[in-house]
Structure 1
Amino acid sequence: MSRTSPIGAFDSGVGGLSILSEIRRLLPVEDLIYVADSAHCPYGVKPIEDIRQRSLEVTDFLIGLGAKLIVVACNSACVAGLDQVRAKYRQIPIVGVEPAIKPAHNVTRNGKVGVLATNLTLNGERFSILVEKYATGVEVYTQPAPGLVEIVEAGAIETPETEKLLRKYLQPLLEKGIDTLVLGCTHYPFLRPVAQKICGPQVVILDTGLAVAKQTARILKLAELETNRTSAGTEMFYTTGEPNAVRSVISKLWGNSQVQVRKANV
């Protein structure tokens, strides 16, 4: 592991690209490796032990590729296994993600915040602690959203069916009068344009992509692991699923039709 080693990141599928894109914008000269664990997607409906095991196995794969820092770019994986990943791989910095409750507390004007996430995230202890710690004086309304991850995995972002399902989940939150919406799953930022259309301009929509990118940069600096190269960084994409199918979706979400996706046997 050296300064020129890559940053590794993973998610149950392509959702973590919402985090990776912010890392790329903030750290343009760092090399990036991303694993979409598509063969086991979505994580949010699986037993915690299974998600924890996948998180450990994929982290091991990324370390095997020489990653100098790992971003667990999946809320469900963080709920299920972030502590275990950090405990096992003490020699390498591990960055997790969490719903943007603290920023929402600072942004809301009327004290009503909605959170869209998986059941696993909403029912987890980490989420309860976040709300207790940062949402004092704020009403937090939660809404599980089954099916949205699968929509993003299929690349079906702006379709009538997507808008219909998203409206079904957002309507109860809008009826509560929320003025701030937290996207509590890394897949959901890709649905932001549709969500904003449904919510209207008066609702502020938050995700954690930029915050995670800033934390990644901060930890690299503290650990003296920032690359010392000046040329543009590269990206390598892997999937445990079918590479050609995943490549078509990653190409769309990453905005580059030339991306290559390799098979990850993990």
Structure 2
Amino acid sequence: ALPISASLRQRYPHIPIIGMEPALLPALSVSKNPRILVLATAATLREEKFALLRKKCEKNATVMALSAPGIVRLVEAGLADSPEMDAYLRTLLAPLPAAPDAVVLGCTHFPFARAALRRVLGNVPLFDGAAGTARELRRRLSKESSLAPQGTVGGVTLTASAPRSLPLFLRLYEK
């Protein structure tokens, strides 16, 4: 995502382009020296930005990272809250040496699997980057005086390069 966002920022300097990053820093708050599990895509785990963030956090935590492509596949198949997701997560997490104190959801698809993660992991705190991304968007829009006036209703436009994906996006959005 980083090379794409850099290219888009150059091409559209007047449009704020905000990337998401795994919520590792907030996950540090769960305990002293926590064991943090990052579930992400292989691409996210390969990014230099993630490596730097992980290194920074490993001063105060044990950070384990797992690529979880099956979550994306199951969410896109409409099986985010299903026995198939539970089975996938159990298999994925079985090799962990110890239960995590916190789990970071490092992909935009992964919050849709929260219910399954709770069934498999119990009441482990789950962190995702959505709140931080929303705060950054608000900060930037406010800085540019581009926030909608108080009391007005905003809107959401769903677009996709593959129109056949729109019914899935709408179903996920309505959850």
User: Normalization by structure 1: what TM-score?
Assistant: 0.61
Spell out, residue by residue over 1:159-207, the C-alpha distance to the aligned partner (whole angstroms, 9 max, x if none). Answer: 221111122222333x323111101111000001100111111x11111
SS in 1 for 2:59: coil
Structure with the higher fraction of residues in strand conformation: 1
Rounded to whole Å, the distance in 1 between the matches of 2:39 and 2:87 is 15
| Structure 1: gaps (5+ residues) | 1-76, 257-266
Partner of 1:157: 80
Q: Does 1:178 align with 2:100?
A: yes
| Residues 183 and 189 in structure 1, CA contact (< 8 A), matched pair in contact too | yes
| Residues 22 and 105 in structure 2, CA contact (< 8 A), matched pair in contact too | yes
Question: Among residues 47, 56, 77, which one is paired with 1:124 in the alignment?
Answer: 47
| Structure 2: gaps (5+ residues) | none
Question: Among residues 131, 138, 152, which one is paired with 1:231 in the alignment?
Answer: 152
Spell out, residue by residue over 1:199-227, the C-alpha distance to the aligned partner (whole angstroms, 9 max, x if none). Answer: 111x1111111111111111111111112
Evaluate the alpha carbon distance shift between residue 247 and residue 90 of structure 1 in structure 2; reply closer, same or farther with a 3 A threshold: closer
| Residues 86 and 119 in structure 2, CA contact (< 8 A), matched pair in contact too | no
SS in 2 for 1:140: strand
Residue 99 of structure 1 and its aligned partner are, at CA, apart by: 0.5
Question: Aligned residues: percent identity?
Answer: 33
| Residues 109 and 179 in structure 1, CA contact (< 8 A), matched pair in contact too | no
SS in 2 for 1:98: coil
Q: Which amino acid aligns with 2:157?
A: M
Partner of 2:7: 84
SS in 2 for 1:99: coil
Evaluate the alpha carbon distance shift between residue 108 and residue 87 of structure 1 in structure 2; reply closer, same or farther with a 3 A threshold: farther
Partner of 1:96: 19
Residue 85 of structure 1 and its aligned partner are, at CA, apart by: 2.3
**Aligned pair count?**
175
Evaluate the alpha carbon distance shift between residue 214 and residue 118 of structure 1 in structure 2; reply closer, same or farther with a 3 A threshold: same
Q: What are the residue-to-residue correspondences of 1:44-55 with 2, within 5 Å?
A: none
Partner of 1:215: 136
SS in 2 for 1:115: strand
Q: Which amino acid aligns with 1:171?
A: A
| Higher normalized contact order (CA 8 Å, seq sep 6+, divided by chain length) | 1
Q: What are the residue-to-residue correspondences of 1:134-145 with 2, within 5 Å?
A: 134-145=57-68
Rounded to whole Å, the distance in 2 between the matches of 1:157 and 1:144 is 17
Evaluate the alpha carbon distance shift between residue 162 and residue 236 of structure 1 in structure 2; reply closer, same or farther with a 3 A threshold: same
Spell out, residue by residue over 1:59-89, the C-alpha distance to the aligned partner (whole angstroms, 9 max, x if none). Answer: xxxxxxxxxxxxxxxxxx2x34223322332
Evaluate the alpha carbon distance shift between residue 96 and residue 145 of structure 1 in structure 2; reply closer, same or farther with a 3 A threshold: same
User: Normalization by structure 2: what TM-score?
Assistant: 0.90
Residue 148 of structure 1 and its aligned partner are, at CA, apart by: 1.6
Evaluate the alpha carbon distance shift between residue 90 and residue 157 of structure 1 in structure 2; reply closer, same or farther with a 3 A threshold: same
Q: Does 1:193 align with 2:115?
A: yes
Rounded to whole Å, the distance in 2 between the matches of 1:242 and 1:159 is 25
